[in-house]
Amino acid sequence: MALDTYKSVVALAGGVGGAKLADGLARLLPPGALTVIVNTGDDFRHYGLAISPDLDTVMYTLGGVANIVNGWGLEGDSQQMLGMMRQYGDDAWFGLGDKDLATHLLRTQWLEEDITLTEVTQRLSKALGIQSRILPMSDNSIPTVINTAEYGELTFQEYFVRYRWQPTVAPIVIRGESTSPIMYDGEAIMTDEGVSALQNADLIVFCPSNPMLSIDPILNAEPCRDLIENRSVPCVAVSPLIGGQAVKGPAAKLMKELGMEVSSNSIAHYYEGLIDGIVVDRADQVDADRALKVLPADILMRNVEDRARLAGEILEWMTSWTR
Ligand code: FO1
């Protein structure tokens, strides 16, 4: 199968790392062939605005307007509104840009008019000239909640941005029974669009996003995990770790706190039953006894060329199995 014959490739993605690989895939695949199903467990209300950080990161990246230094937010944005907030005594801990506000204002208004998050995202993406489909994992809100030793339960953005993922993630212990520190406030149901994208996919790719904080919430949206476990097409994951270190964010720290070995091998194990192959950094090893295909590659995406190069290597590797 040549790359230009792919009709439907589905990528599961969180924020910055996921968005970069999704952008690489979008650059190589025929227009409209890529669907990115994005984590919305990070979504929250702030100053009354509906904010969907991962959807926006994917949207801005695919639209070519993302801030390349941060990976999130808009290129050339300013923070005058936040400056004024601080003057009023607000601690303004979430870095909302002035131009970025337009996205949140419109999203909030449209959601209040009962337009679904799927439709809102489509309108915004279309206006940015994006040909790939960006889908929220669900149209209902299912915030990820994280239990920490220092502050108890935190919403995702409090944990990630306000406290810069420094609090220790700790299980909740009730009468000697310990439960996962990562919880979902509600039951996520996938959208019809997400279900049909997975059912019609030629290939599925888990982007190098945090497995516990970004990919798991998507898998948790019914019936995502089931659809992927019972798929008939290849599915691979790209490790978010290089040499036991997270490329960005709390993956390595979190894995340690969850009692996991911090390695790409451990990521492979985490996704067992869901993937046929894993893409890891050349320096990383995956147990040979696992019935899992392994593609060693340079997985660090420093620039746009790297995104397309990595996406190309993954697509050609997966294509070689179906030939
Ligand atoms: N991440 C930060 O580390 N600090 C910020 O102040 C921040 C602001 C922000 C504003 C809009 C947006 O769409 C994303 C923003 N992010 C910020 C990124 C985001 O919160 C995280 O990267 C994701 O939630 C984790 O995937």
Q: What is the pLDDT of residues 30-43, one digit of tens each?
A: 999 999 999 999 99
**272 DSSP assignment:** T
| Residue at 306: amino acid letter | D
pLDDT of 2: 73
Mean local confidence (pLDDT), 132-155: 96
Going by CA atoms, what residue is nearest to atom 5 of ligand 1? 95
Q: What is the mean pLDDT of the chain?
A: 95
CA of 162 to the centre of ligand 1 (A): 10
CA of 238 to the centre of ligand 1 (A): 22
Burial of 95 (0-12, 13-18, 19+ CB in 10 A): middle
CA of 293 to the centre of ligand 1 (A): 33
The SS3 call for residue 145 is: strand
Q: Is the model's pLDDT at 3 over the cut of 90? A: no
Pocket probe for ligand 1: among 157, 161, 215, the residue whose CB has the most ligand atoms within 8 Å is 161
Q: Is the CB of 73 under 6 A from ligand 1?
A: yes
Task: Report the alpha-carbon distance of residue 159 to residue 129 in Å, rounded.
Answer: 33
CA of 42 to the centre of ligand 1 (A): 9
Mean local confidence (pLDDT), 228-237: 97
Q: Is the CB of 143 under 6 A from ligand 1?
A: no
Q: Which residue has the tokens 């920490």?
A: 148
What tokens does 27 get? 């650059």
Pocket probe for ligand 1: among 62, 85, 94, the residue whose CB has the most ligand atoms within 8 Å is 94
CA of 74 to the centre of ligand 1 (A): 11
Query: For residue range 44-97, what is the model confidence (pLDDT) as tens digits?
Result: 999 999 999 999 999 999 999 999 999 999 999 999 999 999 999 999 999 999
